[in-house]
Amino acid sequence: MTRRSRISICVLALAIPVFFAFGLLAGGVELGFADVIDALSGRADPTVSFIVVETRLPALATALFGSAALAVAGLLMQTCFNNPLAGPSIMGISTGASLGVAVVLLALGGLLGFWGRMALVAGAFLGASAVLAVLLFFSSFVRSADILLIIGILTGYLSSSAISLLNYFATENSVHSFVMWGMGTFGGVGLESLPLFASLSMLFMLLCIPYCKSLNAMLLGARYAESSGVAMKRTRSALLAISGALTATVTAWCGPIGFLGLVVPHIARLMCGTANHRVLLPATALAGAVLGLVCQIASVAPSLATGAILPVNAITPLIGVPIIIYVLLNRRRLVYFS
Shortest Å distance, C-beta 131 to other proteins:
25
How many angstroms separate the CA atoms of 115 and 122, rounded? 10
Out of 32, 221, 317, 322, the residue judged to bind other proteins by CB under 8 A: 221
Residue 219 binds other proteins (CB under 8 A): yes
What residue type is 222 in one-letter code?
A
Given a contact cutoff of 8 angstroms between Cβ atoms, the answer to whether 261 and 81 are in contact is no
Exactly one of 16, 28, 183, 226 binds other proteins (CB under 8 A); which one? 226
Stretch 319-338 residues interacting with other proteins (CB under 8 A): 335-338
Residue 114 contacts residue 233 (beta carbons within 8 Å): no
Only segment of 24-32, 171-179, 187-195, 268-276 that touches other proteins (CB under 8 A) = 268-276
Q: Is residue 269 close enough to count as binding other proteins by CB under 8 A?
A: yes
Helix axes 57-80, 194-206, angle to 10 degrees: 20
The interface with other proteins within residues 71-130 (CB under 8 A) comprises 82
Question: Count residues contacting other proteins (CB under 8 A)?
Answer: 30
Q: Which of 42, 46, 229, 307 binds other proteins (CB under 8 A)?
A: 229
Site residues (CB under 8 A) for other proteins, limited to 35-74: none
The residue (of 65 and 211) whose beta carbon lies closer to other proteins is 211
DSSP 56: I
Binding flag, residue 231, other proteins (CB under 8 A): yes
The DSSP result for 217-275, as a single string, is HHTT-HHHHHHTT--HHHHHHHHHHHHHHHHHHHHHHH----SHHHHHHHHHHHHHT--
Q: How far is the CB of 242 from other proteins (least distance, A)?
A: 15
Residue 138 within binding range of other proteins, rule CB under 8 A: no
Q: Any contact of residue 220 with other proteins (CB under 8 A)?
A: yes
Which C-beta is closer to other proteins: that of 94 or that of 214?
214
Q: Which stretch binds other proteins (CB under 8 A): 179-187, 217-225, 254-262, 293-301?
A: 217-225
Judged by beta carbon, residue 41 or residue 338, the one nearer other proteins is: 338
Question: For residues 48 and 33, is the Cβ–Cβ distance under 8 A?
Answer: no
Contacts (Cβ under 8 Å, ≥6 apart) of 96: 127, 128, 129, 130, 131, 132, 155, 156, 159
| b/e 13-29 (16+ beta carbons within 10 angstroms → b) | eebbeebbeebbebbbe
Closest CB to other proteins among residues 141, 168: 141
Closer residue to other proteins (CB): 64 or 222: 222
1 forms part of the interface with other proteins (CB under 8 A): no
**Site for other proteins (CB under 8 A): which residue of 37, 223, 321, 330?**
223
In the bound state with other proteins, the residue whose beta carbon lies nearer, of 117 and 278, is 278
- Smallest CA-to-CA distance from 16 within 82, 49, 65 is with 65
- The answer to whether 140 contacts other proteins (rule: CB under 8 A) is no
Instruction: Determine contact, residues 156/127, Cβ cutoff 8 Å.
Output: no
Which is nearer to other proteins, 172 or 333 (by Cβ)?
333
277-to-202, 265, 303 alpha-carbon distances in Å: 17, 10, 39
DSSP assignment of 80-142: HTT-TT--TTTTTHHHHHHHHHHHHHHHHTT---HHHHHHHHHHHHHHHHHHHHHHHHHHTT-
Residues of this chain that interact with other proteins (CB under 8 A) are: 2, 82, 209-210, 212-214, 216-217, 219-221, 223-224, 226-231, 269, 273-276, 278, 335-338
